[in-house]
Chains A and B, each alone.
Chain A
Amino acid sequence: MIGEGGARKLQDLLPGEAVRTLDHAPAFRIPGASPAAVVFPSNEKVTADILRLASEERWGVVPAGHGGGLYLGNAPERAQLVLSTARMTGLVDYEPADLTLTARAGTRLGTLQTELAAHGQFLPLDPPGAADATLGGIAAVGWGGSLAGAFGGPRDHVLGVRAVLADGTAIRSGGRVVKNVAGYDLHRLFVGSFGTLAVVSEISLKVRPKPAADRTAIFTAPAWLPLQTLALRLLSNPWPFAACDLLSPSLAVSTGATETPAAALAVRAMGPDAAARDLLDRAAALASGEGIRETHRFEGAESEAFWKGLTQTEVLADDALTVRVATAPGLSSGVLGEAHRALAPGASLEFHAHASAGVVRLYVRGDAGGFAAWTEAVRRRAESAGGHAFVERAPAGVRDRLDAWSGTGSAAAVARRVKAAHDPMMILSPGRFADGI
């Protein structure tokens, strides 16, 4: 709740249409929380004013881009406001010859990629929901996508940020150059912090030349295990595949990898034309040696569109449980095996795995009564493999019983102190993050 006095002060800071109730901005709903309003500051100064007010009033503030990531994490304990950076868009600085750019946090990745493509460059990031996601949102969640195994994730591309702390102080970390070790790299810390440390207003990123060729080979098999084994064999060679993703039969069909349901392995090669074609030919030769057929090859725009489709593999049904598991690449098989084994009768499992990054996204549908036990089993398996499991999405009843996070163990105390150094009054997304932060 926001008192009348506070609401008036908020209105004074922002023009009418920059404050909306959740009824008029349903994209910004947060499961398990009821913010009074969503605000859309147009620049960093207004952002700072809002946060200063929120600190005075002790409101909980949940930062957002266009809202696509708000369902992630535990429900915030206090959430009076959602603060969206969606109106803070555009390039601040872009010098193609430097392979760097600075953009406002509300800029959508798809818009940026279009601008970069015009200069023969791209940003090799393709997390879930990529094209519509804002740069700030991608940084806050910190996940990579299919390209992460080859190119690194968001934290490997962020060179610096401007941000606003919970008390309204504007700060910067890093810079605009590709090599910089001055000071503490708080910008790296902000990546993956789920908006609990600061509201990032501006991000400097490093970009790459866009490869001349983009080609994809699809391999199918009746079962996923031989394809996972093939993926690991491909990765054991010094062949620089851009991506290597495993898809369950339904997802293989819905993404266009196959026409009839079958487990599929999609292998992407990006680079000079001859090199890309040669890489996939080698993959096909290795696969053939294992009795696995290549069923499809995409090139150019078709290849690009296919992988763009893979950023949308989410099963968005309200009754689905989504869990994201991260382990060393070779241990994904164990996770997938356990995920299948622990399924309750009548439940169905679909999956999308980034083989070279060791990330597996699992989608379960069925009786929600069995979800918690299944999640515990998968989480235990992930943790015993030295990894962790994150509950991305769960139906309402299940959500409250599960911690979205595995937790950081011995690092938790330092994590809490680092949080306190940034946001001692727990203004930003309290309770949403790991370790009870």
Chain B
Amino acid sequence: MSGQISRGLLHELKRVVGAEGIRLRPEERVVYESDAIMTTKALPSAVVFPRTAAEVSAVVRALARADMPFVARGAGTGLSGGAVACQGAVLIELARLNRIRLIDAPNRRAIVESGVVNLDLTHAVEPYGLHYAPDPSSQAACTIGGNIAENAGGPHCLKHGMTAQHVLALEVVLPDGELIALERDGRGYDLAGLFIGSEGTFGIATAATVLLTPLAEATETLLADFTEVEAACRAVSAIIAAGILPAALEMMDGAAVRAVEASVNAAGYPADAAAVLLIEIDGPEAGLGEEADRAERLCIERGARTVRRANDPERRRRLWAGRKGAFGAMGRISPDLLVQDAVVPRTKLPAVLAEIYRIAERHRLRLCNVFHAGDGNLHPNISFDRRDADEVARVQQGSKEIMHFCVAAGGSITGEHGVGLDKVDYMPLLFSEDDLALMRRVRDAWNPRGLANPAKVLPSGRACVESRGIALDGAR
């Protein structure tokens, strides 16, 4: 596979996307050398901007004929290096596929192109009393195509499920350029279900039929603060055990709260709390107040210091802006941030958190936790300065220990950010050689020549050859 674009290939690509649809100069390509994780960088051989599914198909066909690898990218908000262009791949930027082709409100579905921004979709269907439920923190920027590649979640997936529960059909360009339709109505294999979460290694989704969810009639948002992290975890378990299924159940520890409150998204979180719980309950108006009262009582019984209710949409919006701005707020603390994405059974949270704090202390890490407490998906955030080699080594060691502990506790290596490049070397913690061999065969069934997003997800002999920068997967 060549990292250089031949004149013939260049000519073909320009014919498809137009001269202004391709970026070749190094200073234009460097903008695309990493995604949001920023620890691994690789320069794509070129960046192309197709405008339609047909153009994506033609671009991929041309690249396949030239034996050129490629990687698709939405908004570049990924946190696992999934959109990094390994092996000199051509980066196919899908932002121009941004049409909402159809809104079918009576059937609660819409057909949207991959470049449509997640939150824009919700705004577009709100006039119909609907929204698109999977809501990653990056939803103001991230695209549906990226959500599909990663099987993205978000705080509200506790009640509504992840991207896979909201996709009814996919339009996909295979790595040889063929455009196919994948329906999920039981007429054959759930290939779309398999494609979701395959992180761009099977092909490129150009459009999706998505399921829309009615906006809840009423919402109650509670903010509970605790003087002990463990008490907050116990409150989470108690709420679930009481038969309450909140729409969202988010936790931030004291360090995360203080970062948020010092940032532009300051939301009035109590800065001296050891942990805060953001609980959202929604549904029909009748009986909702009583459900919220029950949740409040459970928090207080488990040691909550105070429980506040956000009674108006503006207050609710601010609380959520604080939560969703948490990662951005870390940027004020240090130049670099490692965002881990681990998931453990909910009941193991207290033990796992306690161990994470011990690991942080042992390695003198600046660490805070923000997470989807309702489903045990935690994001330890470690602030550091990459210019400090000693700190980098401690961060690598600490994050590796955290990952191993979470897996040992019955969890997974990634709850929603994906394996990408970042966690490839952790895959053997979860999967045997036989498991990985099957996954390789399945990938080869879609991507026989290995051109679609090479070096991602599955361990292979080759690294992301062109990469430079700090690899912080910690497993090496």
A-to-B contact residues, CB < 8 Å: 95-100, 120, 142-143, 152, 155-156, 165, 169-173, 175-186, 188-189, 191-193, 208-212, 232, 235-240, 271-275, 277-279, 326-331, 358, 387-388, 390, 405-412, 414-415, 417-422, 433-435
Of listed B189, B242, B376, B423, residue having the most chain A CB within 10 A: B189
> Do the beta carbons of B106 and A330 come within 8 Å of each other?
yes
> Do the beta carbons of B413 and A421 come within 8 Å of each other?
no
Name B376's closest neighbour in chain A (CB-CB): A177
CB neighbours of A120 from chain B (8 A)? 243
Annotate B411-453 by CB proximity to A: 1 below 8 A, 0 otherwise. Answer: 1111111110001000100111011001101111110000000
> Do the beta carbons of A408 and B287 come within 8 Å of each other?
no
> Do the beta carbons of A177 and B290 come within 8 Å of each other?
no
CB neighbours of A232 from chain B (8 A)? 106
- Candidates B105, B161, B237, B411; contact of A156 at CB < 8 Å: B161
Known A209-B243, A388-B187; contact A177-B445, beta-carbon cutoff 8 A:
no
> Do the beta carbons of B427 and A183 come within 8 Å of each other?
yes
The answer to whether the Cβ of B330 comes within 8 Å of any Cβ in the partner chain is no
The answer to whether the Cβ of B347 comes within 8 Å of any Cβ in the partner chain is yes
> Do the beta carbons of A184 and B439 come within 8 Å of each other?
yes
- Bound Cα distance from A143 to B185, whole angstroms: 9
Stretch at the interface among B211-219, B269-277, B312-320: B211-219
CB neighbours of B432 from chain A (8 A)? 171-172
- Candidates A237, A275, A331; contact of B288 at CB < 8 Å: A275
Considering only residues 381-412 of chain B, those with a C-beta below 8 Å from chain A are 410-412
CB neighbours of A420 from chain B (8 A)? 445
Considering only residues 149-173 of chain B, those with a C-beta below 8 Å from chain A are 150-151, 153, 157, 161-162, 164-165
CB neighbours of A183 from chain B (8 A)? 419, 427, 430-431, 435, 439, 457-458
- Bound Cα distance from A388 to B142, whole angstroms: 33
> Do the beta carbons of A326 and B153 come within 8 Å of each other?
no
- Candidates B157, B179, B198, B214; contact of A179 at CB < 8 Å: B157
Stretch at the interface among B54-62, B298-306, B338-346: B338-346
> Do the beta carbons of B287 and A175 come within 8 Å of each other?
no
> Do the beta carbons of A411 and B446 come within 8 Å of each other?
no
Name A153's closest neighbour in chain B (CB-CB): B186
A160 to chain B, nearest CB (A): 9
A-B pairs, top 6 by smallest CB distance, nearest first, are A238-B214, A209-B243, A408-B188, A417-B445, A278-B286, A274-B287
> Do the beta carbons of A411 and B414 come within 8 Å of each other?
no
Q: A152-B161, A387-B185, A435-B188 are in contact. List 15 more A-B contacts (CB 8 A).
A: A96-B241, A97-B240, A97-B241, A152-B165, A156-B161, A177-B345, A178-B376, A183-B458, A186-B194, A191-B190, A388-B183, A388-B187, A415-B191, A418-B445, A420-B445
A416 to chain B, nearest CB (A): 9
The answer to whether the Cβ of B380 comes within 8 Å of any Cβ in the partner chain is no
CB neighbours of B377 from chain A (8 A)? 179
CB neighbours of A238 from chain B (8 A)? 129, 214-217
- Candidates B283, B375, B417; contact of A271 at CB < 8 Å: B283
> Do the beta carbons of B434 and A169 come within 8 Å of each other?
yes
Considering only residues 207-265 of chain B, those with a C-beta below 8 Å from chain A are 214-217, 237, 240-245
CB neighbours of B419 from chain A (8 A)? 181-183
- Bound Cα distance from A29 to B416, whole angstroms: 44
Known A209-B245, A239-B284; contact A182-B416, beta-carbon cutoff 8 A:
no
Known A178-B376, A179-B376, A185-B193; contact A421-B444, beta-carbon cutoff 8 A:
yes
- Bound Cα distance from A171 to B433, whole angstroms: 9
- Bound Cα distance from A320 to B285, whole angstroms: 46
Name A326's closest neighbour in chain B (CB-CB): B185
Name B178's closest neighbour in chain A (CB-CB): A410
Name A236's closest neighbour in chain B (CB-CB): B106
The answer to whether the Cβ of B104 comes within 8 Å of any Cβ in the partner chain is yes
A351 to chain B, nearest CB (A): 18
A122 to chain B, nearest CB (A): 11
> Do the beta carbons of A411 and B244 come within 8 Å of each other?
no
CB neighbours of A415 from chain B (8 A)? 188-189, 191
> Do the beta carbons of A182 and B412 come within 8 Å of each other?
yes
- Bound Cα distance from A414 to B286, whole angstroms: 49
> Do the beta carbons of A274 and B181 come within 8 Å of each other?
no
Known A390-B186, A409-B181, A420-B445; contact A328-B430, beta-carbon cutoff 8 A:
no
Known A177-B412, A414-B180; contact A272-B188, beta-carbon cutoff 8 A:
no
- Bound Cα distance from A189 to B193, whole angstroms: 6
CB neighbours of B427 from chain A (8 A)? 182-183
The answer to whether the Cβ of B109 comes within 8 Å of any Cβ in the partner chain is yes
Name A420's closest neighbour in chain B (CB-CB): B445
Q: What are 22 A-to-B residue pairs whose CB atoms are below 8 Å?
A: A95-B345, A95-B347, A97-B347, A98-B376, A143-B186, A152-B161, A176-B410, A179-B377, A181-B197, A182-B423, A184-B197, A184-B442, A186-B194, A272-B287, A274-B286, A278-B285, A330-B106, A358-B107, A414-B174, A417-B445, A418-B194, A434-B188
- Bound Cα distance from A388 to B417, whole angstroms: 35
CB neighbours of B244 from chain A (8 A)? 209
B299 to chain A, nearest CB (A): 16
A239 to chain B, nearest CB (A): 7
- Bound Cα distance from A156 to B161, whole angstroms: 8
> Do the beta carbons of A421 and B186 come within 8 Å of each other?
no
Known A95-B345, A330-B107; contact A173-B435, beta-carbon cutoff 8 A:
yes
CB neighbours of B161 from chain A (8 A)? 152, 156
> Do the beta carbons of B150 and A181 come within 8 Å of each other?
yes
The answer to whether the Cβ of B291 comes within 8 Å of any Cβ in the partner chain is yes
> Do the beta carbons of B343 and A177 come within 8 Å of each other?
yes
Known A236-B106, A274-B286, A405-B187; contact A176-B243, beta-carbon cutoff 8 A:
no
A84 to chain B, nearest CB (A): 23
